[in-house]
Amino acid sequence: MDIQAIRASAKQIKRNIGKLKRKAAKSEKTIKEIEKAERKLAKRLSILASLGVSDKAERKTKKKKQSKFGAGDYARYINSAEWASRKASYYETHHKECRSCGADEKEIHLHHRSYARIYQEEDGDLIPMCVDCHAMLHLFQKSFKLPVEDATALWMSATNGTSKKKKIRKALRGTTYGQFQNLWGTRSKSVTPPLQHLSRTIERLIKGELGSQEDAISSPECVKKQIAFSKRTGIIRDYDAKVDALIRKLERR
């Protein structure tokens, strides 16, 4: 039953009765019309009363508490008691676990998937992410100059919305931001779409191609492969002073 329609009908009938009463002195017919309209009105009001509602529409509006933060206050907000309270209320109904890699033992951040309601976020605007995945996502966003909504959607589709979800989550859990950053920079981002570049990088993570220069320096086997590659191709651009020092060390063995 459409209560709003019944209310509207009762309101219109009241207006009509008012008009008819002003004409009543001039016409006997008008008096009969008034009686008919009043019967209709009584019927509408009876229906509303049986439903336990008034014939007057309720006009309650909730006023949102105004935030004391404004444009440019994001950093201050993230370090404020208000944000700490907002996170606490979020975790009352959500598990504190990275939605990207599944980690729960790392430091967990609460990522804004949208800034549309910044300082007055709804739960749907937030998503838990570990410190490393959070940094990786923003590297992806900045590399392609994407809005945060688009970057988050693409990142989640590449890490969670896939048949390789378990392998990807395991690879991400074992990857630091520094390793991802080094691997991310080894491909040209200008010639591939964002999602394709991200998917390729994740494929390399699954294969264990972390590619961190620091890792290479600490691994003689990796350095040997680099030396062999250099001799075969003449390409030595990956070498720096630290790698040269390790080469000399290997040659003395």
Interval 119-167: pLDDT, tens = 888 999 999 999 999 999 999 998 888 899 999 999 999 998 778 899 9
Could you tell me the pLDDT band of residue 239, with boundaries at 50, 70 and 90?
Answer: very low
DSSP 76-102: HHHTSHHHHHHHHHHTTTS--S-TTT-
Arithmetic mean of pLDDT, 243-251: 54
Query: Which tokens is 231 given?
Result: 């001799």
β partners of residue 129:
109
**Lowest mean pLDDT, pick from 25-29, 30-34, 117-121:** 25-29
Of the two residues 25 and 69, the one the predictor is more confident about is 69
Of the two residues 244 and 141, the one the predictor is more confident about is 141
pLDDT tens per residue, range 187-223: 555 567 888 899 989 998 998 876 544 444 445 565 5
Model pLDDT, residue 15: 78
CB environment 139-148: b (16+ within 10 A), e (fewer): bbbebbebeb
Of the two residues 26 and 124, the one the predictor is more confident about is 124
Query: Which of these, 250, 190, 188, 192, lies nearest to 222 by C-alpha position?
Result: 250
Helix runs in the chain, H state only? 3-24, 28-50, 74-78, 81-90, 131-144, 148-159, 165-173, 177-184, 194-206, 213-217, 220-233, 241-251
Burial of 99 (0-12, 13-18, 19+ CB in 10 A): buried
Q: Are 230 and 239 in contact (CB under 8 A)?
A: yes
Burial of 103 (0-12, 13-18, 19+ CB in 10 A): buried
Arithmetic mean of pLDDT, 31-55: 71
CA angle 229–227–202, rounded 5-degree value: 60
Arithmetic mean of pLDDT, 33-45: 76
Model pLDDT, residue 111: 92
Arithmetic mean of pLDDT, 217-236: 54
CA distance 140 to 108: 19
Length of the chain: 253
Model pLDDT, residue 250: 55
Arithmetic mean of pLDDT, 77-103: 91
Q: Are 98 and 159 in contact (CB under 8 A)?
A: no
